[in-house]
Chain A
Amino acid sequence: MVYLTRKAEFSASHFYHNPKLSPEENQRIFGKCNNPHGHGHNYTLEVTVGGNVDQRSGFVIDLKQLKEIMNREVIEGLDHRHLNKEVPEFRDKIPTTENLAIAIWNRLAGKLNGAKLHRVRVYETDDLFVDVYGEP
């Protein structure tokens, strides 16, 4: 098995707020991230695909196709968007980096032309990232 990783970047805004909690509780748990006007990040996405190397092409997956799939399924819907207000997964879920990585996993799983999605990594900043491997 060979693993291949493709990077992409997107910029988006978000804020953290749970409507079931009081304003004080929201402020206590989420701090600055609770600002209702939101704030933004330059996110970096890394998608790792695993598979056997095709004898004829020498590829695990055609990188051009992987790039197109990532653009279509993920980047177009997230880049320069407000995650809370414009991205359906976050209508009733807080757009933390954890939930963002899970949402991206769900958007890509099963859509990689037969190659196996191994890992989705989302960097919110250089010092904070989340990995998802599709474990329940």
Chain B
Amino acid sequence: MKAHLTRRYKFSASHRLHSPDFSDQQNRDIYGKCNNPHGHGHNYKVEVTLSGRPDPETGMVCNLADLDGFAERVLMPRFQFSNLNELDAFRNLVPTTENLSRELFHLFRDQFQLATVEKIRIEETMMNSFEYAGGHELGAR
């Protein structure tokens, strides 16, 4: 039977929401406090969901040591204590958590090959969370 394994990671980063497609006034109206030129930060909680049938030899969808190792080598150095606006991915893209969800989905899907990457879910704060499954409908999941 297929199982969906979810692992949670945490990093802290700053960002500023500002789009060159809008005037300064429009940016202030749309993004409000998030448009503060000096930026602000969040403790992001990222959930990565992988799926597959557990390997009969190990009982695992994917060895957690491999997934944690990938997060330590690839995810954390890039995002922990970063300013999202400075990252290549957000040179021309507003670093909203919607866009961050898509960026992290592609990062895991393109570079972590040991299981199927189903979904990324990010809690920006306790009140806001975002999910992206590569454009697939999440349905009642």
Q: List 26 A-B contacts (CB under 8 A).
A: A16-B59, A20-B57, A29-B58, A29-B63, A94-B60, A95-B59, A96-B54, A96-B58, A96-B59, A97-B5, A98-B5, A99-B54, A99-B59, A118-B140, A127-B7, A127-B8, A127-B9, A128-B7, A129-B5, A129-B6, A131-B3, A132-B3, A132-B4, A133-B2, A133-B141, A136-B2
* Residue A101 is within 8 A (CB to CB) of chain B in the complex: yes
* Residue B64 is within 8 A (CB to CB) of chain A in the complex: yes
* Residue B126 is within 8 A (CB to CB) of chain A in the complex: no
* Residue B120 is within 8 A (CB to CB) of chain A in the complex: no
* Residue B1 is within 8 A (CB to CB) of chain A in the complex: yes
B116 CB to closest chain A CB, in angstroms? Answer: 12
Instruction: Give CA–CA (A91, B125) in the complex, Å.
Output: 43
8 closest residue pairs by CB, A with B: A94-B59, A96-B59, A127-B8, A135-B2, A98-B3, A131-B4, A98-B54, A99-B59
* Residue B127 is within 8 A (CB to CB) of chain A in the complex: no
Per DSSP, chain A at the interface is mixed
Interface string of B34-63 (1 = CB under 8 A from A): 000000000000000100001001111101
Residues on B lying within 8 angstroms of A by beta carbon are: 1-9, 49, 54, 57-61, 63-65, 140-141
Instruction: Give CA–CA (A132, B3) in the complex, Å.
Output: 5
A residues in contact with B4, CB < 8 Å: 130-133
Instruction: Give CA–CA (A98, B63) in the complex, Å.
Output: 11
Instruction: Give CA–CA (A50, B141) in the complex, Å.
Output: 11
Given A21-B57, A102-B54, A128-B6, A119 and B1 contact (CB-CB distance below 8 Å): no
* Residue A3 is within 8 A (CB to CB) of chain B in the complex: yes
> Is A102 a contact of B60 with CB atoms below 8 Å?
no
The residue on B at minimum CB distance from A33 is B64
A21 CB to closest chain B CB, in angstroms? Answer: 7
Instruction: Give CA–CA (A29, B57) in the complex, Å.
Output: 10
Instruction: Give CA–CA (A30, B65) in the complex, Å.
Output: 9
A84 CB to closest chain B CB, in angstroms? Answer: 11
